[in-house]
Amino acid sequence: MNGAWLEPIVAILGLVAITLVTRAFFMIPERDLPMPDWLRRGLKYAPLAALAAVIAPELVMAQGALIQTLADARLPAVAAAAVYYFWRRGILGTIVVGMAVYLPLHMGLGW
């Protein structure tokens, strides 16, 4: 045995420790941490900003480059989903409408 198994074990244990500390950070204090009002308001938008940061590149890029054609199933799906969202303001319906447009174009037409 050459000890090659030790490095992955140490990495996994380190990741476990970091995850526990960062996730439990807000539960450790017995009272609420003082937070400026502007920060509290800003943190309300953090999940939306993170979601946009993940989804936006997927909408306009393929294989690490900007899409070169409008014949991409993602574009009409996003447009339909956005129209539905602004019409009804429902997340589940937005996902269903987007996928209902995306799947036939992607699987049926090969876009």
Q: What residue segments make up the domains of the chain, in order of their start?
A: 70-110
pTM: 0.59
Angle at 102 between CA 80 and CA 47, to 5 degrees: 70
The separation between the first and the last C-alpha atoms of the chain, rounded to the nearest angstrom, is: 51
Q: Which of 53-57, 70-74, 81-85 has the highest mean pLDDT?
A: 81-85
| Confidence tier at 68 by pLDDT (50, 70, 90) | confident
